[in-house]
Amino acid sequence: MLTASSAGRVDNLHALRLRFMQMEDRYRKQALEMGCALVSLVDVRDAYTGSHSSRVATYAHATGLRLGLAHTELDQIVMASLLHDIGQIGVPDHILLKQAGLGPGESIQVQKHPELGWMALKNIEDFKPIGLIVLHHHERMDGSGYPNGLKGDEIPLGSRIIAVAHSYDALTTNRPYRAARTKQQAFDELLRCCKSQFDPSVLDAFMDAMNTKRNSSSNASFGRSYDHADGSDFLLLPTSPAE
């Protein structure tokens, strides 16, 4: 039987635990709001980049689910997908929006965008792991990517997922200089670059997710599922933190 003083201690502990849970909820909400504010900056910078990032996030989420990733890691990868090109804010318009090929100096400026994104995110405590994923999303499995020439498993898993997702989206989207490839043509191109550029197990999970009708709503922690044009179900991301 509890004495009055021990019952009081239990009540205090319960109140304290409740307080910590409320603080944690508020902290997570603030982090998500900050992420959404940063995402809106990407949208403002370039309409293509904004919609590209949302599609990359849906592909990355489906791939992460297929790989059986935990919710926390999946959330970080989705947020990193939305922000992966945020560093393009630091690339001048006349280069970013150029429709013809880039000169050598211009390519170097474009290739700085992962580091610029990392610099923007690294000082926010909750966004450090997200910033690392952003930093390495242009690395390649054979070490020929940038900025650090990381190889294989040295590349964060989230970056390897985004590498596949953003390449697929780039291939299947109409660009000023070429028409969109079909899904099968894009798959063929990704498979051609498997091992040299992409992680085979990630590519396998991505293609599996793209080919399989599934309901991701039960696992979606950032939003709800919707029917993708090609028949796969993918995550529809919220446009505001309240959604």
| Contacting residues toward Fe ion, per CB under 5 A | 85
Q: Most distant CA pair in the chain: distance in Å?
A: 80
Please report how close the Cβ of residue 85 comes to Fe ion at its closest, in angstroms: 5
Please give the residue whose beta carbon sits closest to Fe ion in the complex: 85
Give the span between the Cα atoms of 127 and 77, in whole angstroms.
11
Closest CB to Fe ion among residues 146, 208: 146
* β-pairing verdict for 224-227 and 233-236: antiparallel
Pick between residue 85 and residue 233 the one whose CB is nearest to Fe ion: 85
Residue number with CB closer to Fe ion (76 or 159): 159
Q: Which helix (H) or strand (E) element contains residue 227?
A: strand 224-227
Quote the least distance from Cβ 185 to Fe ion, whole Å: 22
**Least distance between Fe ion and beta carbon 125 (Å):** 24
Q: Which is nearer to Fe ion, 85 or 139 (CB)?
A: 85
Min separation Cβ 96 and Fe ion, Å: 11
For the record, the structure tokens of 219 come out as: 């696992």
Total Cβ atoms within 10 A of residue 51: 14
Nearest residue (CB) to Fe ion, 85 versus 169: 85
- Smallest distance from the beta carbon of 175 to Fe ion, in angstroms? 15
